[in-house]
Amino acid sequence: MRYLTVNEHQSLEFAETQIPQILEDECLVRVKTAGINRADLLQKAGMYPPPKGESEILGIEAAGEIDKLGDKVSGWQVNQAVYCLVPGGGYAEYVKVKAKHLMPLNKNFTFEQGAGIAETYLTAYQSLFLIADLQPNQRVLIHAGASGVGCAAIQLAKAKGCFVVTTIGSEEKAKACINLGADVAINYRNDDFESWAKQEKQQFDVILDVVAGGYVGKNINVAALDAKIVTLAMLGGRFAENVDIAKMLGKRITLQASTLRNRRDEYKANLVEQFQCDFGKLIEKGELVPVVDSVYSWREANAAHDKMAQNANIGKLVLVID
């Protein structure tokens, strides 16, 4: 099969390898589309290797059709359209996946949309509900609201009736977030979210942060009593200065960092099951729709990576495995 590999210039190019061999609890999926994530850019740069024993091929989410079933797999059919979370291997013609990590693709959704669901919605769901225990009508601050995870988080939080504030980097992204349901979109190039919160007398019960760095102290300042702050990335830097521990204690703030890729298979299976239980019907009805910014042939994967590196996307960037 063909797949995309990283050459010595940190550029993607085609190569060939054997089709993955599946275990009894796995399925082989013919990949139609693969979602692009910042984890792919980090892995390409040698900074985010796959979990031990998993595929070295880039790509942590895909959509396609089941090609083969493991001996102990039930409930799925060959040629069934699915989307899935994988620890690696999505940038290829075939990928193997644990059957319990599969989700059926809504017949009204395209494969391009399917490639934009698994990583973004599961990450947002895990962060908001399993970690932060988000409750209806709470106040939520989502940084990078126009990212794939940000777009998903806005929709999930609004589905629970929450008041949602996002930070974004352009007026175009602000409009996109408002259209998704966000109540307020703050352009960080023009306004400071901490100053806005102080002026509007707003404090947040849940904060979803992919920036870290200088945002850590600001998040603490705008957090409400018993707030949960979930850090998913460190686009603003790995170190935070002037963190007020006394304020954390006074507000009883929980600050937690999380990743999804290196979680155990059982954890991911349980996450998929809970997400389907809580939000599966909304996806089936088309009330939750992944935001797809651009679709590229996988021949244009380098251009797609460049767009993500420039933070120029609103929602997902998707590769078509044509």
The 10s digit of each residue's pLDDT in 23-69 is 999 999 999 999 999 999 999 999 999 999 999 999 999 999 999 99
| CATH fold group of domain 120-257 | Rossmann fold (3.40.50)
Give the pair of three-digit tokens for residue 217.
Answer: 């102290």
Give the pair of three-digit tokens for residue 11.
Answer: 């550029």
Total residue length of the chain: 322
Q: What percent of the chain has pLDDT over 90?
A: 98
Q: Is the pLDDT of residue 100 over 90?
A: yes
More reliable by pLDDT, 108 or 213: 213
pLDDT level of residue 266 (50, 70, 90 thresholds): very high
**Residues in a beta bridge with 164:** 140
Q: Which residues contact 10 (CB under 8 A, 6 or more apart)?
A: 44, 45
Identify how many contiguous H helices and E strands the chain contains and give both numbers: 10, 15
Region 276-288: what's the mean pLDDT? 93
29 three-state secondary structure: strand
pLDDT (0 to 100) of residue 209: 98
Report phi then psi at 5, rounded to 5: -120, 165
Region 267-282: what's the mean pLDDT? 96
Q: Where in the chain is the domain with CATH 3.90.180.10?
A: 2-117+261-320
Q: Is the pLDDT of residue 137 over 90?
A: yes
Q: Where in the chain is the domain with CATH 3.40.50.720?
A: 120-257
By the 8 A CB rule, do 149 and 124 touch?
A: yes
pLDDT (0 to 100) of residue 242: 85
Region 123-136: what's the mean pLDDT? 98
pLDDT (0 to 100) of residue 241: 87
Helical residues (DSSP H) of 63-147, grouped into ranges: 111-114, 118-125
What are 244-265's pLDDT values in tens digits?
999 999 999 999 999 999 999 9
CA dist., res. 71 & res. 162, Å (int):
44
Q: Which residues contact 184 (CB under 8 A, 6 or more apart)?
A: 164, 165, 166, 196
Considering only the top CATH level, what class is 2-117+261-320?
Answer: alpha beta
98 three-state secondary structure: strand
Mean per-residue pLDDT of the chain: 97
H or E element that contains 157: helix 148-159
Helical residues (DSSP H) of 185-291, grouped into ranges: 193-200, 215-222, 245-251, 265-284
CA dist., res. 143 & res. 213, Å (int):
13
Q: What percent of the chain has pLDDT over 70?
A: 100
By the 8 A CB rule, do 81 and 109 touch?
A: no
Per DSSP, 127 falls in state I
C-alpha dist (Å) from residue 173 to 146, 158, 186, 212: 6, 18, 10, 20
Region 225-248: what's the mean pLDDT? 95
By the 8 A CB rule, do 138 and 183 touch?
A: no
Report phi then psi at 230, rounded to 5: -115, 120
Region 81-87: what's the mean pLDDT? 97
pLDDT level of residue 235 (50, 70, 90 thresholds): very high
